[in-house]
């Protein structure tokens, strides 16, 4: 519990009882003063569901996961508009069967989503052609037949030029388009102006290479996949870029076909018979994100904005497993301000992080190796259930999320929404309904179930898409209705001022965001990030491999010192750092102060007008030699 002693803030260990009592009392005070609907949940990962249930039972439905507005939002929105559904998580890409795979930025191999790395490897072993579009020579680029070192932020120009070639050389899947798509005539007309010579001026890519790669995709079609990407919040035109990717796939006829996008299925697992929390009494989305009518989920950055100041709608936060200051770009001042005006901030985390420093109460969760979580039941190729179970007793007095949410609900007189003593009762009940049991799953871990639906479209059979027209919408009527471009339009990105570089960032295999940097084993593998600098830029700044520099943005924000890695694997107009470093919380003893934090340098966040998501790639930095640092 946060306490103030002699003007200094610190935390005092308290019993779980005292923590729950404090939280319940504050929640009730907020409800009396402002209403029951004023608490918000930010969460990433399954355990957040227990808090969501507790908050909904209380009357607060406001909710956001940064894995939407800082990650998959544009992709989900764009594929929803085009195909009437998203691409799933894990992604429904049939890469193992693809004969041609196009990666727009996605740096699979450094992005270590395990299943994808495996299926990409299978495809490469079978001789699939990989085309990687990336301003950086990524690990995936190194495995590619073609690397297209695109000028940052110009992908829509390339995608339009590829469509131009497919249409004008009659390389698209005529039958598929006629059968399943609407808006082809408008699209064909729209792309006329965007030939590869035009795209060359924007992207810097050789027109012959643009043509050759378009033909390569067409030869392999429909087993030709233009990967939808995942972290797609880049330049603020992200829903449109993802729409262009979706449309290109439709021209190749890859959706619903082997080697393209397959249909996923999950296990039909009944919910435990507990009362459902009442529906929201207020239209919180109407308050928080009215400008984004197409977005069905919460937009974290909007929820944050509506948590600042006396008149803010949101009065209290629960934050579950998301480190907002390093996750929502350039948000530190806003979070600081929100912490000032919020009447309650509860943070549930497994360790001290930047966000726990703002909390009134920190609830220490035990790690995933020390608890039961909900059964994993994700849509996949083969429906399956997986059990997560404790390998150890929780350390100290840490507890799992379900136990905390139930404890708070009990205090609030909402215990009827959690009608079990131990979560194993819920798991066992659910498993019994599908012919298994907790005992069986404790033995086998994962259980597969037979599929009931087709993996691919049945050739020649009609398909109904969940769009207004019932077809794949190349031209989007919904976008037209809300005054957005119904066909993707290219707008050139801002270029860096003299002496500055595009701030590019991404993953490294060793780490998961910022959450593993303080892990001793992983810290040993990768103790700091480096800044990738092209030799020409290094010469200009007089820096050599291994020198320390600070990164500075045009607003004067500086990073920690970070080591230079001089490499031709990055374009001369960009630098690259791995995300997740530069922790400021001193209690992260290893990670504190080490490496540069990309989030803190982002000064030019571009909101996507359709998804409301935060484009993070429009920021610029320069290099300051540490010898020149005052």
Ligand X SMILES: Nc1nc2c(c(=O)[nH]1)N[C@H]1C(S)=C(S)[C@@H](COP(=O)(O)OP(=O)(O)OC[C@H]3O[C@@H](n4cnc5c(=O)[nH]c(N)nc54)[C@H](O)[C@@H]3O)O[C@H]1N2
Query: What is the contact surface with ligand X in residues (CB under 6 A)?
Result: 44, 47, 66-67, 70-71, 104-108, 111-113, 133-136, 138, 150, 152-153, 155, 229-231, 234, 320-323, 326-327, 329, 348-351, 353, 365, 367-368, 504-507, 509, 511-515, 576, 579, 598-599, 616-617
Q: Find the helix or strand (DSSP H, E) in which 523 lies.
A: helix 520-525
For 73, how many CA atoms within 13 A lie in the half-sphere containing its CB? 31
> Among all residues, whose Cβ is closest to Mo ion?
71
Question: Residue 434 CB, nearest distance to ligand X (Å)?
Answer: 26
Residue 153 contact partner, candidates Mo ion, ligand X, none, CB within 5 to 8 A by sort of partner: ligand X
Residue 105 contact partner, candidates Mo ion, ligand X, none, CB within 5 to 8 A by sort of partner: ligand X
Question: Residue 111 CB, nearest distance to Mo ion (Å)?
Answer: 9
Q: How far apart are CA 595 and CA 597, in angstroms?
A: 7
For 319, how many CA atoms within 13 A lie in the half-sphere containing its CB? 31
Residue 357 contact partner, candidates ligand X, Mo ion, none, CB within 5 to 8 A by sort of partner: none
Question: Residue 159 CB, nearest distance to ligand X (Å)?
Answer: 10
- Cβ atoms of residues 209 and 79 within 8 Å: no
Residue 442 contact partner, candidates Mo ion, ligand X, none, CB within 5 to 8 A by sort of partner: none
Residue 571 contact partner, candidates ligand X, Mo ion, none, CB within 5 to 8 A by sort of partner: none
Q: Which of 503, 486, 485 is nearest to 573 (CA)?
A: 503
Toward Mo ion, which CB reaches closer, 231 or 617?
231
Toward ligand X, which CB reaches closer, 381 or 587?
587
- Contact set with Mo ion (CB under 5 A): 71, 231
Q: How far apart are CA 287 and CA 35, in angstroms?
A: 14
Question: Residue 584 CB, nearest distance to Mo ion (Å)?
Answer: 22
Q: Which of 91, 388, 69, 82 is nearest to 242 (CA)?
A: 82
Q: Angle 445-449-454 (CA atoms, 0-180°, nearest 5)?
A: 140
- Cβ atoms of residues 233 and 70 within 8 Å: yes
Residue 370 contact partner, candidates ligand X, Mo ion, none, CB within 5 to 8 A by sort of partner: none
Toward Mo ion, which CB reaches closer, 78 or 167?
78
Question: Residue 502 CB, nearest distance to ligand X (Å)?
Answer: 7
Toward ligand X, which CB reaches closer, 221 or 599?
599
- 345: exposed, middle or buried (Cβ count in 10 Å: 0-12, 13-18, 19+): buried
First to last CA, the chain: 38
- Cβ atoms of residues 492 and 202 within 8 Å: yes
* Buried-state track 43-59, b at ≥16 Cβ within 10 A, e below 16: bbebbbbbbbbbbbbbb
Residue 534 contact partner, candidates ligand X, Mo ion, none, CB within 5 to 8 A by sort of partner: none
Per the listing, tokens 């519990």 go with 1
Toward Mo ion, which CB reaches closer, 97 or 614?
614
Toward ligand X, which CB reaches closer, 23 or 31?
23
- 17: exposed, middle or buried (Cβ count in 10 Å: 0-12, 13-18, 19+): exposed
How many Å separate Cα 277 from the centre of its chain?
A: 28
Question: Residue 322 CB, nearest distance to ligand X (Å)?
Answer: 4
Toward Mo ion, which CB reaches closer, 407 or 615?
615
Residue 111 contact partner, candidates ligand X, Mo ion, none, CB within 5 to 8 A by sort of partner: ligand X
**β partners of residue 129:** 100
Toward ligand X, which CB reaches closer, 287 or 590?
590
- Cβ atoms of residues 613 and 593 within 8 Å: no
Question: Residue 358 CB, nearest distance to ligand X (Å)?
Answer: 12
Question: Residue 232 CB, nearest distance to ligand X (Å)?
Answer: 6
Toward ligand X, which CB reaches closer, 184 or 576?
576
Residue 310 structure tokens = 């006396």
Question: Residue 231 CB, nearest distance to Mo ion (Å)?
Answer: 5
């Amino acid at each position: 519990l946060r306490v103030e002693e002699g003007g200094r803030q610190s935390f005092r260990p308290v019993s779980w009882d005292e923590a729950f009592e404090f939280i319940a009392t504050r929640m009730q005070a907020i409800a009396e003063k402002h209403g029951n609907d004023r608490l918000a949940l930010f969460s990433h990962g399954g355990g957040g569901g227990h808090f969501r249930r507790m908050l909904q039972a209380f009357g607060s439905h406001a909710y956001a996961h940064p894995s939407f507005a800082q990650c998959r939002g544009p992709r989900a929105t764009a594929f929803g508009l085009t195909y009437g559904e998203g691409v799933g998580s894990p992604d429904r890409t049939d890469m193992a069967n693809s004969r041609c795979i196009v990666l727009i930025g996605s740096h699979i191999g450094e992005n270590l989503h395990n299943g994808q790395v495996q299926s990409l490897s299978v495809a490469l072993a079978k001789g699939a052609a990989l085309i990687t579009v990336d301003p950086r020579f990524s690990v995936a680029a190194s495995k590619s037949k073609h690397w297209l070192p695109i000028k940052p932020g110009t992908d829509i120009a390339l995608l339009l030029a590829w469509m131009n070639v497919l249409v004008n050389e009659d390389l698209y899947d005529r039958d598929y388009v006629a059968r399943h798509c609407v808006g082809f005539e408008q699209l064909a007309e729209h792309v006329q102006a965007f030939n590869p010579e035009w795209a060359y001026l924007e992207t810097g890519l050789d027109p012959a290479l643009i043509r050759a790669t378009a033909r390569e995709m067409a030869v392999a079609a429909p087993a030709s996949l233009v990967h939808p990407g995942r972290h797609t919040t880049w330049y603020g035109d992200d829903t449109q870029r993802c729409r262009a990717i979706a449309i290109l796939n439709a021209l190749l006829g890859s959706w619903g076909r082997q080697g393209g996008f397959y249909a996923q299925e999950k296990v039909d697992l009944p919910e435990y018979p507990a009362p459902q929390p009442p529906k929201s009494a207020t239209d919180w989305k109407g308050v928080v994100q009215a400008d984004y009518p197409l977005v069905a989920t919460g937009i974290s950055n909007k929820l944050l904005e509506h948590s600042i100041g006396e008149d803010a709608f949101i009065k209290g936060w629960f934050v579950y497993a998301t480190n907002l200051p390093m996750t929502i770009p350039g948000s530190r001042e806003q979070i600081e301000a929100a912490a000032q005006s919020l009447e309650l901030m509860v943070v549930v985390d497994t360790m001290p992080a930047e966000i726990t420093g703002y909390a009134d109460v920190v609830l220490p969760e035990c790690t995933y190796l020390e608890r039961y979580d909900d059964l994993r039941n994700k849509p996949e190729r083969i429906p399956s259930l997986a059990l997560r179970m404790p390998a150890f007793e929780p350390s100290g007095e840490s507890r799992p999320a379900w136990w905390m949410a139930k404890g708070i609900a009990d205090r609030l007189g909402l215990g009827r929404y959690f009608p079990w003593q131990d979560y194993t009762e819920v798991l066992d009940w659910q498993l019994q309904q599908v012919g298994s049991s907790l005992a069986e799953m404790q033995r086998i871990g994962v259980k597969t179930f037979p599929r009931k639906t087709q993996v691919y479209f049945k050739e020649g059979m009609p398909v109904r898409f969940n769009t207004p027209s019932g077809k794949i919408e190349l031209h989007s009527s919904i976008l037209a209705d809300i005054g957005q471009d119904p066909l993707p339009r290219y707008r050139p990105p801002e270029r860096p001022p003299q002496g500055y570089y595009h701030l590019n960032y991404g993953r490294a295999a060793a780490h998961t965001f910022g959450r593993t940097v303080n892990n001793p084993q992983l810290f040993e593998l990768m103790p700091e990030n480096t800044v990738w600098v092209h030799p020409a830029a290094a010469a200009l700044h007089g820096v050599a491999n291994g020198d320390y520099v600070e990164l500075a943005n045009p607003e004067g924000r500086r990073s920690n010192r970070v080591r230079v890695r001089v490499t031709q694997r990055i374009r001369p107009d960009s630098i690259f750092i791995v995300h997740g470093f530069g922790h400021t919380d001193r209690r992260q003893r290893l990670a504190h102060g080490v490496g540069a934090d990309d989030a803190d340098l982002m000064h030019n966040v571009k909101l996507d007008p359709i998804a409301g998501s935060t484009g993070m790639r429009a920021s610029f930095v320069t290099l300051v030699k540490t010898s020149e640092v005052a």
